[in-house]
Amino acid sequence: MPVAYRFDSNIIVIEMVGEYSLDDIRTTILNSLADSKCPTTPFILVNLSGSRSIYNRSSDDVKTIALSLASLAKRFNNRIALVAPDDFPYGLMRMGSVFSAMAGFEPEVFRTYADARKWILS
What's the rounded Cα separation, in Å, for the pair 52 and 65? 17
CATH class, 3-121 region: alpha beta
Report whether pLDDT(23) > 90: yes
Q: Provide the pLDDT for residue 82.
A: 96
108: helix, strand or coil: strand
Cβ-contact 7, 40 below 8 angstroms: no
Residue 78's pLDDT band (cuts 50, 70, 90): very high
Residues 62, 54, 93: CA angle, nearest 5 degrees: 50
114: helix, strand or coil: helix
Report whether pLDDT(24) > 80: yes
Domain boundaries, the chain: 3-121
The proportion of the chain whose per-residue pLDDT surpasses 70, expressed as a percent, equals: 99
pLDDT tens digits along 32-58: 999 999 999 999 999 999 999 999 999
